[in-house]
Structures are given as structure tokens and as C-alpha cells.
Structure 1
Amino acid sequence: MWCVRLDLWALAVVLLSLPHSSAGSIMGAAVNIELLHQDTSPQVRAHYSLVSSLPCPSLEELCNEGNCVDPLSSSPVKGVLPSPGWCVRQWQKTIPQNHTSTLQLGSDGAVSLYSRADLSVRSDTNRLNQPPCVSLPPPVRVRAGCPQEIPVDVMDLDGDEIRCHYAKTGLGEFMRLDEETCTLLYGGGAYLGQYSVQIMVEDFPSSVKNQIHSKAKPFSTVSVHLLITVESGSECSAVPEFTGVSPAGGAIIHVLPFEEVHVNITVDSSVSEIAVIGPPGLLISPMETGRDSQSSITLSWVRGPNPFAHLLSVCFAANTQSLQSHIRCIWLQQTQTDPLPPGTELKCKEQELQMSLVLPISFLESLHFSDFQLNDPACPVFYNTTHVTASFSLTGCGTKRLHLGSELLYTNTLRSINPNSTISRVATLILPLACRFPGQQAKGPSFKIAIPDEVETFGAVSFWIEFHLPGEGPLASETRLARMRSLQPVRAARELRAMGRMDMLDLHVFSNCSLDRAELMVGRCIESETKDFVNTRPLLSHGCAAGNGTLEVLTSSSTVRIYRLYLGSLGIMGDTMYVECLVQLCVTTKQSQRCPDPCTGTADNTVVNNILTHNYTVRSGPVRLIKGTEPSTTTAQAAQTAGPVTQPSNSQVATASASRTLGRGAFWVVTVSLAVQLLQLMENFITD
């Protein structure tokens, strides 16, 4: 069985200059098809994926033709960039073998996805054709004036050739197609805005290879729609790069039934997010930033009984406020297994936490039974003249415990091991074993679980940030002789003092929450010399210093965070800066516990032992860095991470500036008030 990368594309490209996408607009869509049965049924199963800008639409809004099924009813994956953020919806539908689906949200233009399948038996293989699969990447971002490659990955299980034809070219000098490397090449000459690209993919028999202008009829067709955002950029700096531990583009991972897949993705720099699009049920860990400023996430997926396609794509890209890495896609191939012979028994004993297997040997005659073993080779596997048997504890013999939706899953594998290291023609056996126990709910009058929302837990709170010189402001007593989280000193650049600019400034982050044990948590903070945050520098990443120019000042209050900024070491050389931070509140469910410290990586992800608010974004106005300059005061609104940051109006600036004479010293104050949103319901709430 082969899987080949797209050598030539079938493209129908339409470019439309659009304004910034409105809420609920389509930012990408794809359709893949599979045969329902190994016969000439006139219908196929279509797998749809769609990326929408926030707010996330419901399946009913997307499927206006009816009969759409969400296979897992899982929560949609979301991303932040480009603003105002996006989410992914996936569903399935039975459609005719030749079909066009029209997708539309609100008043935006409709997106048509065309698919076609040839259900006749192929003369070259005597089998039905398997259509190619096309991946859907995260929203694509490029910079005006900066050339960039935009790959779209396609795989074909039959090993067929992939060809391209243009329904409409219309590309001009904006973008051209490299048919050999299967890459759209953006030349950098487009205006700011968004451009729609429709790609049609077709497969042909391998006998037409290198015959570019062949009139051969394709077996099948699938399509993908992309919305490419062209953003402003002052220079074509290097984009974030994935490190060696990240999977290579086009990699294939074969997944057995009930097998768990782990994928680590690491970027060589601090980024705002690692955007991922994958199959339903894909778990994405919170992004972590190490001491070397590398950003990383872990993806995990468990293959359970599912109606998904045999090939599933996972595409990812690293985003900063102004840059996007090259997009990579990998493939999860759900390996097909033969049915077990009659007489096979697998018993799962929940009370005894035990699994037992009885396997007839009538179909295993060519195997060496003495070479059979479980995950733990020390656990015995028995055999006689009629059966292979094994009985083992669900907590031993290398058995893994996983969660599959609401079920608890115990898995092991019986396999034959070749004792010789040389290549052998001896048959091998790989038999996944799994026991599934459904989730149970506590019933009866003695149990009542109350899950509070955000307002009930934390009250009506507000956040704000302030800038003060060390030893000044409301916490002057704690910043005058500061206790630092790190004992390593940071020295400011002398040229700042010589040029009349400040060399140190304290960033204060406040919350008025009065809840006992509530802790203020500050995530990433970035700085920019311009209010549009096109080019940014990291100040904090997950509450940790992003470089050698930021140190945390320890305070006596859990709802106040102070960070000392050494402006010279941070490379801030201008007269003005703008700052943006992500903030949230945390409270533990047990008095003996503390909220996780993202900086030290001590969070325990196995037990839900704390309640968190949403992430909220606070963005300042201009912070003057010249000594002796009278600061002005600006009011800004805090917004959820997924939403836009509200900038101050002119009337707010004027009103605040008129009252600035009430302050003392050279400091900057930004007051942020926020209407707290409802907290999403937690699956588990642990009490003392």
C-alpha cells in the first residue's frame, strides 16, 4: 500500500480582494470522500472540515442541506490569529458520487466544494478506486512584500498520479503554481486584505506519469478552499522554525485500533500560538515555553470505533503577532485489520480489573507461538494444540489506561516477536486488545454536585495594569527593596541614561478579586513600539521572563503581579512603547493546594484541582519612556483572548489626560475594567 505526496495539482483558483473577515465568515473548507461499500452504490460518504472566524457557528448553520452528522459531538478546536480568532467544525454526510456542496455563513459569499468518485472497477488493479485526501491547514497568513511558500498536502492510498488543470487562472503576479513541488508561491506583491483560493485535486493512473497534457480522464476529484490573509510588515524577517523533534511534513503514522498517538511539536522561538487542525477527538496540550525560549505543545489522539476516513490529516503552524511559520501536515492512517476468527473470546472483568483472551490457533499455523508476548514480556502467554490464552490484570502487564470520550479504556497488545534481528519472511501477528468501561454518574439524594460559573466563583472583578518607577506607586514599599524571583542580576544599558530615557520600569498587574485563595496569573506579555503591534518583543511567556531583561518582583498579595523591565537589556530603544498582557484568575478546590505555576512547569494535568477564568487581553496606550515627561492616562477595555482588544476612544483619552495632574512622578497608569464572562462548565469539580 502506497501513499504518495502530491506531484501535480488540480487547481481552480479564484482570487477576490476582500475586507477583513467578519464574524462567522468562512476562512477555509475541504471535502474528502470515501466509498460506502465495496460495490457500485451511487453514493459516497463525504467528510467536511470548515474553519470559521469567531463566533463559532453551529452545525445547523453550516449544513443547510440536512442529514449532517457530527461523529463525536466534540468541542471545536479554536485559534487566535488572525483576529478575531477562528474555530474548526467537522461533519459527515452521505452524498451522490458527483456532488457540489454550497457552504455559506451570514451574508458572506458562498463557498462551493465539488467532489466526484468513479465507482467502476479499475482495469489496472481490478479494484475500486480510492479518491485522494486533501488536508485543511490553519488560516494562512502572509506579509505584504515578503515572498512565501504555501503548501497544501494531498495523499493517495492507491499511489496514483495527481494532476492539475486550471478552471480559472486569474493569478497575475500575486501567486503562481509550482506544479512539481505542489506549492503555491506567493510573490509578495498583493495589497493588504484577504484572497480566496479554490483548489481542485484529481487522481490519474500511474501510467500517465510525466504526461502533463494528457487527456486521460481522472478517477475522482476533491477540493479545498483557502482564505489567505495578507498582512502589513515592515521587514521580511525570518519566520519561526520547527525543531528536529517535530514531525516532518508528509510523515505518516500508522494507528492500530485503540492505539494512542503522541506527537510533540516544538518551535525554535517564543510564539503567540501553535495553531493545529486535526481529526475530532484530537487533544492539544497548553503551549509551554522553556528557558531557551522554545515553544512546544503535545498532541494526543486515541483511535476508537469511529466512522472517520482512513487517512486523517493533522496540520500545524506557529503564529506570532506579525509572522507565521511554514505550514506542516502529517497523516494518521487508520490501519485496517482482519476480522478475528470464530471462537475468539475477550472477556473484560470490571470488578476484578482483569482481561482474559482465548484465541484459536487454526488461523495462526505459520506463527511461532513461543514468541508471543504482551506489552510487558515478563507476563506469560500460554498455548496448547488448539488455543492461545492469556489472562492478566488491567493494572499490570504493560496495560495502558486511556480516556476515550466518556469511557475508560484499558489497552494491551498481543504480538509475535522475531527473536532474530535479521529480516525474516516469518508471518507476524499484531492483535490490539481493549476493554471499554462506560462512564458512571453518582445517583441518589446523598450526592449533589454544583458547578459554579465564573461570576459565582470570583465575583464581579476587574483587571488593570500600571507602570511605575521602582520605589513609586501603591506598592512602593515592596519595589523599593525588591525581592526577585530570580537572584541573577540584570544590568541596564548605560546609553539609555545618557540619552535621557528610563532604564528601569515596573509593570504592575492588578485584580480587585476579594475571593480567599484567588491568585492572579499573568501569561504572555508583549511590547511594541507601535499601537498596531505589527512588530513585537516578548516580555513574559507563560508568566516567565522571556529573556534576560525581565524579573518578577515578589509581593505579599496573590492578586498583584509586578515585573521589573530593564529597558536596555530588552532592546527597547524608542521613546514610546505599547504593552499587551494575557491575565486570568485561579482558585484551588482544596485549601492544601496551590494553583499551577506555568513558569516552573509544576502543573498536574491528571486531576482537575483548580478553577480558572477565561484568558483576557489587556492592551495599554502609549507609555512614554523619557524621564521628566508628564504621562497621560488612557482607559482600555479587557477582552477575552479570542475577541478583539478595544482601543480607547478620543473622548476617553481627552478625559483622562485632563486629570493627569493628580498624579506624582514619572509613571504611567492604565486602568482596565471588564465585564466578566460566564465560565464554561467543568467536567469535574473536586471538593474537600
Structure 2
Amino acid sequence: MGQKTMPVTLNSSTDNIYRFGYSDCCLVSLVEGGSSWSVMATANLTVRSDTGLINSPPIFAMQPVIRLKQSCSYSIKIPVIDEDGDFVKCRWATNSSGVIECGQACSGLSNSILDEENCTVTYNAMGAPGWYVVALQIEDFATRQYTNPLSSLPLQFMVYIYSFSTSCDSKPVIETNVADGSVIQIYMNITYQQTIIASSLSSIAAINTVSPLGMTKSELLTYGASNNKSYIDVTWIPTETQVGSHIFCYTAFDDNREASDQECIKLIVLNDCSSNPCENGATCNDEINGYKCTCTAGFTSTRCETDIDECASNPCHNGATCNDQVNEYNCTCAAGFTNTHCETGN
């Protein structure tokens, strides 16, 4: 479970608003809803008046399948990031105004409650055992008062409700030194590694991840001498195109297929030029574990902070005063001399 990117060429739009998506058939047999599905995204590519940039849509992550015990209560939190700092809301997907956002997958979970501002679905799993689908649209607004979203992105995931003989609290536990919701800064082209440990009353069968593009994970390994504790190692070398924010989530399953709570962290990929270390109009070139500044004419030093003294070579003659400037100089001639370097007597 991870991410995939695919370039798409869209027809031109007079208002810079684009809608695009996919639809198909053949979801598994659902307790509620039909087998056809659709996802629809809306993007506004107009340059924003408040930022001077095209809008950055929300970033979010969710495991594709959630297993819930029948008759237990759950709060399903969708982790969301917005790079522009916009107000983000989640709503149920609908089919209205000719925009088909979810096909026959709109019915979702009966009796569930969506907290739109916190992107959290609260649900008492009272439905019959079997498969359900949750279809949401995640939207960002310039401020809380705005009613027209800057973008609208689909999120759909499956829910499987099953009967059980254990308690609602009997489930695997994630044990890691990185707390749920942590924010970690890493650098592009530098290897990021994390160990994810999970324990259970029985034994751990899998640790599933929802990860950024290019992240790899090891096979499931036994942790120490304990038969009910296992771990995986994940490794990621973010590239230049991945500078920015990412969400990384993980969930453990035991051999009874009971699932832990999903935990997520925010990974912010920086490059060494993010702090704008180069001065005086220099170009910053990110390198592995460092950077190099290409100075504009007239400046030198590591960060191009030093103005080159063009008078150091004493270019002015006959007692003239040299006046240093950026990438040039001029000579103030003594009485009786003239020309650029005061080399000519009157």
C-alpha cells in the first residue's frame, strides 16, 4: 500500500477550474450500496490573490481497508495537512449537479457521524457483518468563512465489520519511540529510517503502511525473544521533487486479523537550501548533506556574503583614490590627472 503518480493532460478551461476522475464497476459485494464506484477531484489553477501562487490542495492518507468489530465504538481520524495553511473540511461524497463523486458507493456507513472540521468519522459498528465503503470529499478554503472550496479531493476506503469473541479493547498495540502525530524534519537525498514495533496478546501477522512514494519496508521480524512482538524497518530517500510535507501511517494486525489503531506521523522534507543560506542574490545548489552557493558577480565566500574588493589590486594611479563598488570600481583622480585609472596627466 503506497502511492502512485500519473501525468494527465487536461483540456483547457476558461475559468481555470478542472474536474477529473475515474469510475468503474465491481466493488466486492457490499452490505449497503451497489458495485459501481466513482471518484472525482476538482482543482482551481487560478493564481491566488493572498499567496500569489496556485493553490496547494490538502494532503491526506488512509489505509485502504479498516477492520471493525461488530458492536464496538470507533473514531476514525483522517490525518490531513494543508501546505497553504487553509481551513480544511471533510464531507460525505454525493452525486449531485451532474458531478458523480461516488457512484453507488455513496451510501457509506449508516448511523455514522462525520465531524467535518476534524475529519473524523465516529461509528458504532452495529451493522451486519460484511463489507462497507466510506466515500468522502476533502476540501480546503481560504478562510473558515469561505463557502467555495479551492479544491475538492476524493477519499474512499473499505470497512469490514466482523463478529468476534474477544473484548473491544483486545487489539494489537503499536510500540515505537515516535509518538502518533509527531512532526519530523528530514532532508532530501538523505536516508530516513524508522523501526515500527507492534505487540499483541497472540502474535503479529503484519504491519501495513501507507507511505510516501519510494519508501520501502523490511519483512516482518520477531522482536527479541518475545513471540508476541514483531517489527519492521522502513527506509526512505526523498528526492528533490518530494520536498514538502508527507503523511506516513501504519497499522498492525495479529493472527486473528484484529487491527491496532492507525498511527500517523508528518514527514517534512527539506533541502539544505530551504533556509536561503546564500546571500546577495546568489543561487543555492543543494548537495548531499550540504549546499553550495553560486555567487553573483562581485561577491565571494561560502554564502556569498563578502563583497569582493575591486580596489585590492590598486588599479588607480598617480595618487588617485579607489572607490570600491559591486563588481566594479571608480577612481577619483588627484589634481592634474584624468582617464579611467588617472593614468593621464593634464
TMscore range, shorter length: 0.5 to 0.7
Q: 2:210 aligns with which of 272, 277, 282?
A: 277
- What SS class does the counterpart of residue 20 from structure 2 fall into? strand
Give the distance between the partners of 1:117 and 1:344, measured in 2 at CA: 32
| Structure 2 counterpart of 1:124 | 50
The offset of 1:95, in angstroms, is 4.6
Letter in 1 for 2:60: V
| Structure 1 counterpart of 2:262 | 327
Letter in 2 for 1:248: A
- What SS class does the counterpart of residue 204 from structure 2 fall into? coil
TM-score of the aligned structures, taking structure 2 as reference length: 0.66
Give the distance between the partners of 1:234 and 1:187, measured in 2 at CA: 17
| Structure 1 counterpart of 2:86 | 160
Q: Cα gap change, 1:217/1:181 in structure 2, threshold over 3 Å: closer, same or farther?
A: closer
Residue by residue over 1:426-460, the C-alpha shift from the partner in whole angstroms, topping out at 9 and shown as x without a partner, is: xxxxxxxxxxxxxxxxxxxxxxxxxxxxxxxxxxx
Contact 2:218 2:234 in 1 (8 A): yes
- What SS class does the counterpart of residue 8 from structure 2 fall into? strand
Give the distance between the partners of 1:145 and 1:303, measured in 2 at CA: 42
Give the distance between the partners of 2:62 and 2:109, measured in 1 at CA: 24
Q: Cα gap change, 1:103/1:284 in structure 2, threshold over 3 Å: closer, same or farther?
A: farther
The offset of 1:198, in angstroms, is 0.8
- Is the aligned partner of 1:263 residue 2:189? no
Letter in 2 for 1:241: V
The offset of 1:327, in angstroms, is 0.8
Contact 1:132 1:202 in 2 (8 A): yes
The offset of 1:309, in angstroms, is 7.6
Residue by residue over 1:621-641, the C-alpha shift from the partner in whole angstroms, topping out at 9 and shown as x without a partner, is: xxxxxxxxxxxxxxxxxxxxx
Letter in 2 for 1:192: P
Q: 1:241 aligns with which of 170, 173, 179?
A: 173
The offset of 1:138, in angstroms, is 4.4
| Structure 2 counterpart of 1:194 | 131
Structure 1 residue runs of 5 or longer lacking an equivalent are: 1-76, 78-87, 209-214, 349-355, 368-384, 387-688
1:621-632 to 2 correspondences below 5 Å? none
| Structure 2 counterpart of 1:217 | 148
Give the distance between the partners of 1:103 and 1:310, measured in 2 at CA: 30
Q: What number of residue pairs does the alignment pair up?
A: 269
1:121-520 to 2 correspondences below 5 Å? 121-168=47-94, 173-208=110-145, 216-235=147-166, 236-245=168-177, 247-269=178-200, 270-289=203-222, 290-292=224-226, 293-305=228-240, 307-308=241-242, 310-320=244-254, 321-335=256-270, 337=273, 341=282, 361=300, 364-365=303-304
| Structure 1 counterpart of 2:318 | none
- Is the aligned partner of 1:113 residue 2:39? yes
Give the distance between the partners of 2:109 and 2:218, measured in 1 at CA: 41
Give the distance between the partners of 1:185 and 1:345, measured in 2 at CA: 45
Letter in 2 for 1:294: K
Give the distance between the partners of 1:296 and 1:218, measured in 2 at CA: 41
Give the distance between the partners of 2:93 and 2:292, measured in 1 at CA: 57
Q: 1:100 aligns with which of 20, 23, 39?
A: 20
Contact 1:134 1:222 in 2 (8 A): no
Q: Cα gap change, 1:216/1:203 in structure 2, threshold over 3 Å: closer, same or farther?
A: same
- What SS class does the counterpart of residue 117 from structure 1 fall into? strand
Contact 1:100 1:112 in 2 (8 A): no
Give the distance between the partners of 2:117 and 2:138, measured in 1 at CA: 14
Relative contact order higher in (CA < 8 Å, ≥ 6 apart): 2
| Structure 2 counterpart of 1:628 | none
The offset of 1:194, in angstroms, is 0.7
Contact 1:258 1:303 in 2 (8 A): yes
Contact 2:175 2:199 in 1 (8 A): yes
The offset of 1:268, in angstroms, is 3.2
- What SS class does the counterpart of residue 316 from structure 1 fall into? strand
Q: Which has the higher strand share?
A: 2
Q: Which has the higher helix share?
A: 1
| Structure 2 counterpart of 1:624 | none
- What SS class does the counterpart of residue 179 from structure 2 fall into? coil
Give the distance between the partners of 2:47 and 2:233, measured in 1 at CA: 42
TM-score of the aligned structures, taking structure 1 as reference length: 0.35
Give the distance between the partners of 1:142 and 1:207, measured in 2 at CA: 33
The offset of 1:132, in angstroms, is 0.7
| Sequence identity percentage | 24
Q: Cα gap change, 1:177/1:165 in structure 2, threshold over 3 Å: closer, same or farther?
A: closer
Letter in 2 for 1:276: T
Give the distance between the partners of 2:135 and 2:233, measured in 1 at CA: 31
Give the distance between the partners of 2:236 and 2:66, measured in 1 at CA: 24
- What SS class does the counterpart of residue 195 from structure 1 fall into? strand
Letter in 2 for 1:92: M
Give the distance between the partners of 1:160 and 1:345, measured in 2 at CA: 29
- What SS class does the counterpart of residue 312 from structure 1 fall into? strand
Contact 1:118 1:220 in 2 (8 A): yes
The offset of 1:335, in angstroms, is 2.4
Q: Cα gap change, 1:343/1:366 in structure 2, threshold over 3 Å: closer, same or farther?
A: closer
Q: Cα gap change, 1:308/1:364 in structure 2, threshold over 3 Å: closer, same or farther?
A: closer
Q: Cα gap change, 1:232/1:159 in structure 2, threshold over 3 Å: closer, same or farther?
A: same
Letter in 1 for 2:213: P
- What SS class does the counterpart of residue 230 from structure 1 fall into? strand
Give the distance between the partners of 1:180 and 1:331, measured in 2 at CA: 19
Letter in 2 for 1:197: V
Q: Cα gap change, 1:126/1:145 in structure 2, threshold over 3 Å: closer, same or farther?
A: same
Give the distance between the partners of 2:196 and 2:286, measured in 1 at CA: 40
Residue by residue over 1:335-356, the C-alpha shift from the partner in whole angstroms, topping out at 9 and shown as x without a partner, is: 254698569798x9xxxxxxx9
Q: Cα gap change, 1:172/1:278 in structure 2, threshold over 3 Å: closer, same or farther?
A: closer
